[in-house]
Structures are given as structure tokens and as C-alpha cells.
Chain A
Amino acid sequence: MAAEQRREPGRSEITRCWLLRWHRLDLAEAVLGEPTASAERIGALAREGAASLPPDSEPTQFDALYRRLAVDDDATW
């Protein structure tokens, strides 16, 4: 088997298989196009960014900071 065929399946391929289970070859073809390529680039950014976060990070930390940053009702500059 050629090396190209032995490699781990990428996300696009997994998605394609999943779409094929719906019998939607047309969708599978569409999803292997530009949107998927873009999604893979962006997904990599998310992964790399998150690698810099402490391991106990969670999305709700954002909400607490958002509330703390809110202006006072009588604030001026």
C-alpha cells in the first residue's frame, strides 16, 4: 500500500465518510472544497491559541471578566 494511502485519515476524509453515510455524495464533494480548507486553517489557530492557556481554563471565565469590565452607570471619562 502506498504511503499516501496508509496515512491517518484527515478531518476532511472523516467528514466525507460521515456525509457519505447520509448518501450525500454531492455534499461530501462540497465540503472537501474551500470551506473545509479554511476550517482546517482556523481550527489550527484555535488549537495553537488554546495551548497557551492554563489547563483549568473554561469559557465561563470570559463572562466574569466581561461583567467586571462593565462601566459604572454614572461613569464619565
Chain B
Amino acid sequence: MTQLGEIAALGLEGLAEAIRQRQLSSLEVTRVAIDGLQRHGRRLGYVAGMDPEQALADAAAADRRLAATGSVGPLHGVPLAHKDMFYRAGRVSACGSRICADQVRDVTATVLTRLDAAGALDVARLNMVEFALGTTGHNEITGSPGNPWNPAFITGGSSSGSGGAVAAGLLPAALGSDTGGSVRLPATCCGLVGLKPSYGRVSRHGAMVLSWTLDHVGILTRNVRDCALMLQAIAGADPADSTCSARAVPDCLATIEKGVEGLRIGVERDYFYQGVEPAVARHVEASLEVYRALGAEIVPVTMPGLERANPLTTLIIAVEGASNHAVWLRERREEYGKQTLGRLLAGLTYPATHYLDALKLRHALLQSFEAAFQQADLIHSPVLPFQVPTIAESDLAANPGFSEYVVATGHCTRPYNYLGLPAISVPAGFGANGLPCGFQLAGRPFSEPQLLRAARAFERETASTGRLPALD
């Protein structure tokens, strides 16, 4: 019988190939995934819901289709699962909340439709922070998932179940959403590759809205090539999402192995390294040395005004979130968790002029990045400024200091939501506490091929991905 570890070692690309070549059946792979989610995923808090019988029926149908046609999509028969905020018509999406716990959706998210078309199976709904409003993974309603490397530690959030389940090897890939770091933070906490694509690269139709200015659909995988494969499947124009770009989707896998010779990597130190723990800074600096050894040039850059991005992201999330939640804030207030309620209520207190100021200031900060991109192709930085904390020590709920803590965790990630620039979190080893650590690369709009290429070069050189935690 095929074991979870053997399947996990194949990754998404290898698993899809093994199914396509009929070395493995979708049914046996899906059985292993379901069993893993039942045994480990539920215990660790990753599963929001699943229908094993339907998943196995879908897998059997995928096997029959492969046998009948021989020609299938690039992810045919591979079991995936996603953050519980991508709607599927006829199915509940609870969004990590009590309010939506029984809400059956009447649309299917474009990203799910595209993964369906690629042949992937959708076998479960994965836990998340309530309404995606949180960076640590805590959820006082559904429970706080444990990091698969040590369940006493956070997974990061808000795509907590996606990060945990993929890192544990239960699934090869999962979708998350990233409004202030909610894909890249779980990626760095769990030792995964986490991509927040450019604003407009991936449709958000049928995904829960938190903040329409800052929301991005993102990807969590255990290696860089799998991340590219997922992006190819979900990216591209969508008439159902007016913010989705019509730009053609380049073949990221075609250039991913080309290395970083001649790449200019920009390093901004006044903001991105402010308050970064020395243990984290050492890992991040070491990754720069790897790039230097691979032929990249490390270039110091400055970006005046960068310090405004994080607090103004807080403002935009709060105001747009409060607008979206206005009815429930009036009528179902007692059903929210305390921190979620506190952050949404804060959104009611900003004058409209401050919200518009925050939107106008994006242009000024993007001009700073424009200047930096004259000198550098990509910007390198930490992801999480401190080592992964335990669930207990970061469980601030709505107690004093929680606002500052949220802002601190998003220090390095939120500027890229504010500006819509693509950014990727890349695993860079393990800290003294035994938990993963990563660094971040960001680029110009629609530079995903370059980001993935640079991330892949580091991964190939250091073998920084691929390790699996012991689950028992």
C-alpha cells in the first residue's frame, strides 16, 4: 500500500505525472490523502470540512476518464484542498466563522473552476482565521491549528489550514488568500513556498472578500516548481472579475531553471530590517550570500515612505472590512470572535478622507519602488521579523497590544499588498526553536516568472525544501 510519505515526496508535479503515467491511481492517492486528513489534519486543526465518499467517487471517476481518453489536464486526479473561503456552488464555505458556518454558496470561485478544468480534485475545506482577519492562525471559534513541525507553535495565518496541511505532506498544494501576508506568513512559519501574485494576475471571483484593494489569491506548495504549476492553472483574465488583468499568462515553468546569473537583488535595510530578530536576520543574510555565490549582484536600495505602508494597510483592511461586514456588525455582532470584532469596529471610526488619503498615498510609495527597480530587478527581505512564536505566547485575542502585534507580524509582507506587487516566501532553513524560517522576494507587477526563477535557483542550490515533519 502506498504511504503518505511516499506520495508527499513526489510533490504536485511528480504526483500528477505518476497518475498520468498510471504508476499510481487517483483513487489510491486520494485514499491516502483522505486518511491523512482524517488522522492528522483533524487532530492538528487543518480540516474545516470534508466529504470522503464524494472525494473517493471523484477520484474513481478521474481514473475512468484517464483510462477512456488518455488525454487529461496537467493536475488530473491529484487531490487538493483549499482555504475555506473559495466558494463552490451547493457547498458550505464557512470562512472560519460562526456566522457563515452553514452558508451554502451559489457560485463557484473561478480559481476552483480552473483547477477543476486542470483535473485536480477538491477533497476538503481547510481551516482559516475568522474571515481571514489575522496573521497568526488563531481562531477562537474553530480552534487554532498547530504547526506540523511542533503543534505548540503557530502555523501563521490567515491561511492556517492550507499552510499546515501542505507542510504536513497531507496535500501537495493548497490555495490561500493574502490581504496582508496571509499566504506568505504561513509559508514561512511552516517551511513552504508561498506566492502572492500581482494584483490582477489571479481572479478573485467567488472568493470571500475582505478588502477588495488588498485581497489576492495565493498559493502554498512544498517546492517552487509546484508553485509555478499551480499558478499556470489558475492565472489569467476573467470576465467575472473586473480587477483581473487581461495580460497573457507567461509559461513560468519554461524559464524556471535558468538561474540568477546577472540578477540584481535589491536590499532595503532602513525599513525591512527594523526590529528583525538577529536569529532571523542571520538566515535572511545567509540567503543573500547564496545568491551572490550563484552570480547575482546584491544592490542596496532605498525606498522613502515605506514605513507608511503597513499602518495604511491596517486602515484599508479595517475600512473595507467594516463596509463588507456592516450588516452583520449590526445584526450578528455577538457571533464574531473578539479580535475580529475589534478590528472591524475600528474600521467604522476612520473618516472617509483618511481612507482616500491611504489610497492616494499608494502612488507616492510606488514611485519609490519605481526608483528602486531602476537599480534592482527584485527586492529581498525577511518575511516574519521574529522566530515563529508558540500559540500560547501569541494568543492576544482582543487584549491590549494585539493591534501592534498584528502590525508587527505583517511588517515585511504588507507593503506588497498595499502596492499589489508580487511577492514570494521561500524556505531558508530552520531556527533555533526548530521551526522554519524564510525570506521574501518581490518584483515589479507581473514579474512572477522572475520571482519563481530566483526562488527555484535558491531551492536547487540549498535543497531548502522537501523535508517533511514527523506526524506521530
**A residues whose Cβ falls under 8 Å from a Cβ of B:** 11-12, 15, 18, 22, 24, 27, 30-31, 33-36, 38-43, 45-47, 49-50, 52-53, 57-59, 61-62, 65-67, 69-71, 73, 75, 77
In the complex, are the beta carbons of B351 and A62 less than 8 A apart?
no
C-alpha spacing A18/B333, complex, angstroms: 16
Which listed residue (B198, B347, B349, B360) contacts A57, Cβ 8 A?
A: B360
Tally of A-B residue pairs with Cβ under 8 A?
A: 135
In the complex, are the beta carbons of A43 and B363 less than 8 A apart?
no
In the complex, are the beta carbons of B349 and A69 less than 8 A apart?
no
Q: Nearest chain-B residue to A37 (Cβ)?
A: B403
Q: Nearest chain-A residue to B296 (Cβ)?
A: A77
Q: Tell whether A71 pairs with B445 under 8 Å between CB atoms, given A45-B312, A46-B315.
A: yes
User: Chain A interface secondary structure, helix, strand, loop or mixed?
Assistant: helix
Given contacts A42-B354, A77-B450, 15 further A-B contacts (CB under 8 A): A12-B349, A27-B345, A36-B345, A39-B315, A39-B349, A39-B350, A42-B350, A45-B308, A46-B315, A47-B353, A49-B361, A50-B357, A53-B361, A66-B419, A69-B366
In the complex, are the beta carbons of A65 and B361 less than 8 A apart?
no
In the complex, are the beta carbons of A30 and B305 less than 8 A apart?
no
In the complex, are the beta carbons of B450 and A75 less than 8 A apart?
yes
- A15 vs chain B, min Cβ distance (A): 5
In the complex, are the beta carbons of B345 and A35 less than 8 A apart?
yes
- B237 vs chain A, min Cβ distance (A): 14
Q: Nearest chain-A residue to B407 (Cβ)?
A: A38
C-alpha spacing A65/B369, complex, angstroms: 11
Q: Tell whether A46 pairs with B420 under 8 Å between CB atoms, given A35-B403, A77-B263.
A: no
In the complex, are the beta carbons of A65 and B366 less than 8 A apart?
yes
Which residues of A have CB within 8 Å of B403? Answer: 34-35, 38
Which residues of A have CB within 8 Å of B262? Answer: 77
Which listed residue (B343, B345, B350, B369) contacts A69, Cβ 8 A?
A: B369
Q: Tell whether A62 pairs with B362 under 8 Å between CB atoms, given A38-B346, A70-B445.
A: yes
In the complex, are the beta carbons of A39 and B318 less than 8 A apart?
yes
C-alpha spacing A67/B59, complex, angstroms: 42
